[in-house]
Structure 1
Amino acid sequence: MKDKANVAIIGASGYTGGELMRLLLNHPDMNVTMATSRRLAGESVSTVHKNLDGLMDLKFTDFDASAVKEQCDAAFLAVPHGTAMDVVPELIDSDLKIVDLSADYRLPADVFEQVYGIAHKDPRDVIFGLPELHPEVKNEKFVANPGCYPTGATLSAAPLAHEGLLDMAIFDSKSGVTGAGINPTPVSHYPNMAENVQPYKLTNHRHRAEVKQELTALGGEFDLSFTPHVVPAIRGILTTAHLFTRQSLSAEDVKNIYEKFYENSPFVRVIDGIPSLGSVRGSNFCHIGFEVDEHNNRIVVISVIDNLVKGASGQAIQNMNLMCGFEETAGIWNAGLAP
């Protein structure tokens, strides 16, 4: 690939599309040359993404697969679930590198159909783009970017799963309202959200399937539960993972296991104490802290990520960096926005 990759963002009018453009503004190896939106074709991207005013001189265009393949080296699909499977077949038969931020290719087609309740039009085996677990993304031309909840939950438990130590995992995750997307809903309506915590889909959230897929691949079968909540914050996901182990572990044991597992993962930090959402906001980092409950063979692990960065657009860029042979950290090596 040439020194500077021309990039298309397909479905660029939402939060993840805007975040991709924000992060790629100063990327040393990628240049956004196309941003598509059927609804907003012809309008400046800054009419929707006000933070890009004067910084990105692009107008939305209608999606044209031939133009993307002819003019671009890489494409990010930031389209709704169920839409990517219509787009991918038009793009895949080229040299284009593709990262899909939707759920369409994260799961095997039969599992996807069961979880999402829609028929899959384009079944194919695709690498799950969590680089800390799948460094083989560097050899791929098409990668499925993980969901935001599964990223925080999976990273919180992966080291213990890898050691075959998990007997039960219970994930309690709390997300900012941007996780629901750019279109307002009754949940995100200010009077309903302010000063409130809203649990939902207590036992059957669709992201459970991704967490189970990745952790059982590491450590075999074990009991796994996941419950999400929306909290009155704009960005961020804090996951409290109650991890019950097959044997007693000391704090030193756990620290050694986590530090060894993530020793080559530049965006995961195992810290002392309880992680803070503010420490990772706006960044591609995941901070992990833990405490050992020696009475119950339980490790309480806290992970924090920015749902729009490590949970979506930043991780997509991390994947694309690896796929294109760029530095893994290129364009996304920045600290969180604390305070």
Structure 2
Amino acid sequence: MKVSIIGATGYTGAELLRILNMHPAVEISYLTSESHTGAAINTIYPHLSGVYDRCLVSMQAMEDIGRESDVVFIGLPHGHAMEVGKKLAGTVKIIDLGADYRFYNTATYETWYKVPHTHKESGAVYGLTELYREKVKAASIVGNPGCYTTASILALAPLVQKQLVDVTTLVVDAKSGVSGAGRGLSLGSHFTEVFESVKAYNIGGHRHTPEIEQALSELAGTEVVISFTPHLIPMARGILSTCYAKLKPGVTPEQVDQAFADLYGREYFIRLLGRGGYPATKNTRGSNFCDLGWHVDARTGRVIVVAAIDNLVKGAAGQAVQNMNVMFDLDEKTGLNQVPVYP
């Protein structure tokens, strides 16, 4: 398969290149960057030296990209992928790692992202593979999930799907490594601001909130509204999402266990640590795994689910490659068999 990456110089683009280098069915066609046009990718990311020396081109080469690609990954800021999508739709498969194609209701996107949606007729599918595999298989455009959303939806989906919890009580407390803020310079992600500090941000207003609500509402068959608080933690990679919900009267711990087994028992990339398990970000670093553990608190009547992922892999590039494999009827694990990097 001929693969191009639009916006290849962000952290996600670099991670895609790392993963795709191990994919036996992939050949790189084009890498684009408007800020580094003409430069070799390994001068931007020296860790790719000896692996990739391809020069970056401008998006002005879009006709060539469409003609010489089977699948295009888009790694652009929100609001920019739609123009690319409109130009390439019907020509290639598209996987957008930003927010532009994540919402079935484009009005929700416009409300939270404050830009008009210009490709409402795209027919895009939300690409959380474990929940939407059959839709992804038939899709031409996939909106790849965000990192917080991947961990949080996977944590809560079994409970909501089996109607074991009161969906008016859902609380998500999640923590992200600094790479989730992207490669652009900002005061909040400077070393001296982040080191030896943990802080909450965007309480009640983080843009991943409606993504989580969209998926959980679909599973629940009713509108779900959550309380979501993200935190920035002083490490490069990782998401740890701790999710709380009130169990319905009479629900047993065994029913909770069974819900997770029923939904994920055959999922390769979901590792169930079981009741009493404690996922840790270090155990998923560099891999496409999502580790899940849950606890039933009899005293409060709550269930607490903990999810750990690598935000750049299962929360971004790895999930995108997983979706690509499904779209092209390949083994889902192809190129994604990396063992987590430890310690």
Scaled to the shorter chain, the TM-score interval is over 0.9
Amino acid at match of 1:231: I
Contact 2:216–2:224 (8 Å) recurs in 1: no
Is residue 51 of structure 1 aligned with residue 55 of structure 2? no
RMSD (Å) for aligned C-alpha atoms: 1.1
Instruction: Please state how far the C-alpha of 1:36 moved relative to its aligned partner.
Output: 0.5
Query: TM-score, normalised to structure 1's length?
Result: 0.96
Distance (whole Å) between structure 2 residues aligned to residue 221 and residue 265 of structure 1: 27
Matches within 5 A, 1:281-292: 281-292=285-296
Amino acid at match of 1:9: I
SS in 1 for 2:109: helix
Contact 2:194–2:234 (8 Å) recurs in 1: yes
Query: TM-score, normalised to structure 2's length?
Result: 0.95
1:232 to 1:248, Cα distance in 2 relative to 1, 3 A: farther
Amino acid at match of 1:121: T
Amino acid at match of 1:255: D
Instruction: Please state how far the C-alpha of 1:208 moved relative to its aligned partner.
Output: 0.5
Match of 2:231 in 1: 229
Distance (whole Å) between structure 1 residues aligned to residue 125 and residue 249 of structure 2: 32
Matches within 5 A, 1:98-117: 98-107=94-103, 108-117=105-114
Match of 1:89 among 79, 86, 90: 86
Amino acid at match of 2:96: D
Amino acid at match of 2:84: V
Is residue 249 of structure 1 aligned with residue 247 of structure 2? no
Distance (whole Å) between structure 1 residues aligned to residue 63 and residue 266 of structure 2: 38
Match of 1:314 among 314, 318, 334: 318
Distance (whole Å) between structure 2 residues aligned to residue 33 and residue 244 of structure 1: 50
Distance (whole Å) between structure 1 residues aligned to residue 303 and residue 152 of structure 2: 14
Matches within 5 A, 1:124-203: 124=121, 125-135=123-133, 136-167=135-166, 168-203=169-204
Is residue 74 of structure 1 aligned with residue 78 of structure 2? no
Distance (whole Å) between structure 2 residues aligned to residue 181 and residue 131 of structure 1: 23
Contact 1:166–1:222 (8 Å) recurs in 2: no
Q: Which stretch shifts more, 220-229 or 53-62?
A: 220-229
Match of 2:35 in 1: 39
Contact 1:249–1:294 (8 Å) recurs in 2: no
Match of 1:332 among 331, 336, 341: 336
Instruction: Please state how far the C-alpha of 1:222 moved relative to its aligned partner.
Output: 4.1
SS in 2 for 1:187: helix
Deviations 1:252-283 (A, max 9, x none): 32221101111232111110420111110000
Contact 2:124–2:140 (8 Å) recurs in 1: no
Q: Percent identity?
A: 39
Distance (whole Å) between structure 2 residues aligned to residue 249 and residue 164 of structure 1: 10
Contact 2:90–2:140 (8 Å) recurs in 1: no
SS in 2 for 1:103: coil
Distance (whole Å) between structure 2 residues aligned to residue 78 and residue 247 of structure 1: 45
Contact 1:84–1:102 (8 Å) recurs in 2: yes
Q: Which stretch shifts more, 287-296 or 300-309?
A: 287-296
Instruction: Please state how far the C-alpha of 1:55 moved relative to its aligned partner.
Output: 0.8
Contact 1:175–1:237 (8 Å) recurs in 2: yes
Instruction: Please state how far the C-alpha of 1:223 moved relative to its aligned partner.
Output: 4.4
Match of 1:239 in 2: 241
Distance (whole Å) between structure 2 residues aligned to residue 228 and residue 71 of structure 1: 40
Q: Which stretch shifts more, 172-181 or 113-122?
A: 113-122
Match of 2:12 among 16, 20, 41: 16
Deviations 1:276-318 (A, max 9, x none): 1111000000000011111222111100000000000000000
SS in 2 for 1:253: helix
1:190 to 1:70, Cα distance in 2 relative to 1, 3 A: same
Instruction: Please state how far the C-alpha of 1:247 moved relative to its aligned partner.
Output: 2.7
Amino acid at match of 1:332: L
Match of 1:204 in 2: 205
Match of 2:62 among 27, 48, 65: 65
Instruction: Please state how far the C-alpha of 1:176 moved relative to its aligned partner.
Output: 0.2
Unaligned runs of 5+ in 2: none
Distance (whole Å) between structure 1 residues aligned to residue 20 and residue 197 of structure 2: 34
Match of 1:121 among 118, 123, 140: 118
